[in-house]
Structure 1
Amino acid sequence: MNLGNESRPSTQLGSRLVGVLLAAGLSVFSAMTNAQDKAEPADKDQGCFIKGFSERLACGFIAVPENYERPDAKQISIHYAIIPSIQENAQPDPLLILAGGPGQAATELAPMIARIFADVRKQRDIVLIDQRGTGKSNPLSCDVNRPDELVRSDDEQALDEVAAECLAQYPDVDVAQYNTPNAIRDFERVREALNVEQWNLYGGSYGSRVGLKYLQQAPNAVRTATLDAVAPPQVVIGPFGFNGSLAFENMLQDCQQQQSCAQRFPNLKQDYEQVMQSLGQQSVLLDTQDPLSAEAIQIRLTPGRFSSVVRLALYNPATRQLLPYAISEARATNYKPILGLMGGTTTAVQNSIYLGLMLSVVCREDLPRATESLLQQDANNEFIGGKTGQAFVDLCQGWQTTPAPSAFAQPVESEKPVLLLSGTQDPVTPPRWADIAARTLPNSVHVVAPYAGHTIAGHTCANKIVAQFVRKGSVEALDTQCVKQRKLAPFVLNANGEGL
């Protein structure tokens, strides 16, 4: 999902890699912004158009040091765009979007952000800043195209070589500087340049980690913070096996509780296990079309690729409700439903993630804390085992950077008003993680949406709650009843959509 003004090199990384790159909220050690981090005035009148968004936006670039410890050395440009308030005389405290990934470019999400936060936009500007290493902020987009990538089996994909190949494309970049603390320092430069006294933060997934660290690193710059799909610094992100298995079991139970689904798919777990076993014995070469170019391609379906597609489909109720049918059909060797899910999930991910920035953050700030014991515990499941954790381990072996200081995993303490959002079906950042963050956020409220997935502002009424929270500037007396009225979406029973 590349929504930027200009296309960037495609990253055909294969589903095994893509399957571990979504919503990896990460932690970071922060330091207070020092006096030399002052920005020059920005040219706010520069206009631009973003693909998929018809309005002309105010855009600009701010020059910042690549290494803040060497302010007079190499400079990089940080790109921002402003979605203007619908009403004139907007409130002075905009909504700042902290993109997820890590590795998504905020400006490339402009059409979706404008839709989700239309109520906020009635009174406030929405500011999108491309985190360093993404979008037009010195992007680390790795062109690692491999013509045979999609037809190779998982055990032949040397992910450390993929990462090393990516790193070699940036010999003049100090990738250790592409981290969360420096991203916040960049955002502060933009805030000062735009003469904004305080932000209202919205951070989803990895953006929630940035939001927490923003509260710690520059608290006076924050009026409110909304953290959606919360990943507190105390947890290690990367090994997704355990949380993914819980979400998968939840889906199986929901199917059994719907009479029509239970009757149509009585042995769903066994069907999944049989597909995994069969593909392990003999992978399947499938003829299909590239979802972007429509060119004829072949995809080798392996256990890792199959489980990655299923895991990604758990993120959102709209794709989750297709899983029983897709799994059952795969058991009957009809892989068209799985191919459909693959085109709608993995393609979107690989075209929205800047791999170099993701690895710079993950390999510095989380993987050094992924002990062997933690990885073994995460792998103790019958869904995807330890595939995601091991994939990150392999990638980080090829991406040479320095570990973040150990203190960065400390809890974030803040008296600021904080709205925490979670979905009960989230396969990556479960509600209990937001509860962990809330322990040191006394002025917070945690809203859990039943039957909702990852980053709930995008597919529930939580966006209305966010607008209410930003308007009030307080968590007191928020009306959250709308999320409690959610019902379990019916599962699709056949190719004609029966069951909806």
Structure 2
Amino acid sequence: MLALQVGAGAADAQPLTDCRIAGLRNSVKCGVVQRALDPARPDGPKIDVRYVVVPAMARRKLPDPVFLIAGGPGQSAIDVAPQVMPLFGRLNNRRDIVFVDQRGTGQSAPLDCPESRRELLAEQADAEAQIAQVMECKAGLLKKPYIRAPADLGFFTTTIAMQDLDAVRRQLGAAQIDLVGVSYGTRAVLEYMRQHPAAVRRAVLDSVAPPDMILPTSFSTDGQAAFEALLVACEKEPECARTYPRLRAEWIALLASLPKPATAPHPLSGAHERFTLTREMLLTAVRGAL
């Protein structure tokens, strides 16, 4: 049983319990820390921030656990643990690996929208339909038991979530931690380092999303730059140039021909659907793949 040491200031500490996570071979430890929904009202409504600790394999482990900060934003760190742990094998020899579901994700007061993968292709690609889905989801979120007013959605931010993360650190009794962030997770790591620099021993940033990057305003620009680089690379590579001698011209002609009727199989059902293919739909599909 992993001993629990509670650092000064840890909120509503509870003991870790043995638990199982689908996809992980060995038993792990599950923990929860209660946090105020609004940090300015510590005695106000609370939410549970849940986390999982994969104990170090060695008897004499090192004192600095490794925290994996998931991407998205919106990805559950606990859900990705089975995929990540094979990569963390050496680290796990002497260090605990900690997966915290950031507030609003996974098991920590999730703000989740219904899956839309089974909708018609035309609806999935229609901008107005997507906006309607977002508004419908927002209305559903307001019915969550931990959301009492629209303003409560404003407490699900990176800044506040990193305060939660430090509460987990204190609950585990770790003076310092190591952080690994991927994509959006790098932004969260940078915010944690800003708030608690003395608590960070090492940090790994993979695919950095800096704080000044306004998501998703750069997606189309970045996607187009990647596609242009693809065209140039094909033109310079002899075999690709021979196989697709008119790739750029055909792409320009295809865009100019839109909108037009199209038929394509649904990725889940396999049923062929008829819809009107627009320039925006095609660009979104191609840029998204890059």
Q: Which residue of 2 aligns with 1:304?
A: 280
* TM-score, reference length from structure 1: 0.51
Instruction: Describe the superposition over 1:274-298 as per-residue Cα deviations: whole angstroms up to 9, x where unpaired.
Output: 33333x22141323450xxx56463
Say which is worse superposed, 255-264 or 204-213, in terms of deviation.
Answer: 255-264
Q: Is the 8 A contact 2:72 2:184 kept in 1?
A: yes
More strand by share: 2
Partners of 2:259 and 2:58 in 1: CA distance: 61
Using a 3 Å threshold, how does the CA distance of structure 1 residues 121 and 312 change in structure 2: closer, same or farther? farther
Q: Count how many residue pairs are aligned between Structure 1 and Structure 2.
A: 274
Q: Which one of 18, 25, 45 corresponds to residue 17 of structure 2?
A: 45
State yes or no: 1:177 paired with 2:155.
yes
CA contact (8 A) 2:102 2:108 kept: yes
Q: Structure 2: how far apart are the matches of 1:295 and 1:184?
A: 42
Contact 2:61 2:95 in 1 (8 A): yes
How many Å separate the matches in 1 of 2:119 and 2:174? 49
Q: How does 1:201-220 map to 2 (within 5 A)?
A: 201-220=179-198
Task: Specify whether residues 309 and 69 from structure 1 end up closer, same or farther in structure 2 by C-alpha distance, changes over 3 A only.
Answer: same
Dislocated runs of 4+, deviation >6 Å: none
Q: Which amino acid aligns with 1:55?
A: N
Contact 1:151 1:285 in 2 (8 A): no
User: Secondary structure of the residue that 1:237 maps to in structure 2?
Assistant: coil
- Quick one: which amino acid aligns to residue 211 of structure 1? V
For residue 272 of structure 1, the aligned residue among 251, 270, 280 is 251
Note closer, same or farther for the CA distance 1:115–1:180 as it changes in structure 2 (3 Å cut): same
Aligned-residue RMSD, C-alpha: 2.4
Report SS of the residue matched to 1:208: helix
For residue 116 of structure 1, report the CA deviation from its aligned partner.
Answer: 2.5
Matches of 1:288 and 1:160, distance apart in 2 = 21
Q: Is the CA contact (8 Å cut-off) linking 1:44 and 1:194 kept in structure 2?
A: no
How far did 1:217 drift? 0.7
**1:125 match:** 96
Give CA deviations for 1:237-292 in whole Å, capped at 9, x if unaligned. 211222222222222222233322121112222333333333x22141323450xx
TM-superposed deviation, 1:38: 2.7
Partner-residue secondary structure (3-state), 2:132: helix
Post-superposition shift, 1:216?
A: 0.7
Residues 284 and 302 in structure 1, CA contact (< 8 A), matched pair in contact too: no
Aligned to 2:240: 261
Which of structures 1 and 2 has the larger relative contact order (alpha carbons within 8 angstroms, sep 6+)? Answer: 1
**Are the counterparts in 1 of residues 220 and 287 from structure 2 also a CA contact under 8 Å?**
no
- Shift in CA distance, 287/241, structure 1 to aligned 2, threshold 3 Å: closer
Deviates more, 1:136-145 or 1:208-217: 136-145
The CA deviation at 1:115 is: 2.2
SS in 1 for 2:215: coil
Query: Over residues 177-207 of structure 1, what are the superposed CA-to-partner deviations in whole Å (9 max), with x where a residue is unaligned?
Result: 0001110011111111111111111111111
What residue ranges of structure 1 are gaps of 5+ in the alignment? Answer: 1-35, 315-500
How much has 1:106 moved relative to structure 2? 0.7
Q: Which amino acid aligns with 2:18?
A: Q
**2:18–2:27 contact (8 Å) kept in structure 1:** no
Instruction: Return 137-146 or 261-270, whichever deviates more.
Output: 137-146
**Which residue matches 1:151?**
122
Cα deviation, residue 149, structure 1: 4.1
**In the TM superposition, what is the alpha-carbon distance from 1:130 to its structure 2 partner?**
0.6
Q: What per-residue deviation string (whole Å, max 9, x for no partner) do you get for residues 121-160 of structure 1?
A: 2332211101111100011111265965423384563433
DSSP 3-state at the match of 2:16: coil
Give, in whole Å, the separation in 2 of the partners of 1:283 and 1:188: 54
CA deviation vs aligned residue, 1:25-52 (integer Å, no higher than 9, x gap): xxxxxxxxxxx963233322331223x3
Q: State how 1:293-442 maps to structure 2 within 5 Å.
A: 294=269, 296=271, 298=273, 300=275, 301-314=277-290
Distance change (3 Å), C-alpha of 1:289 and 1:297: farther
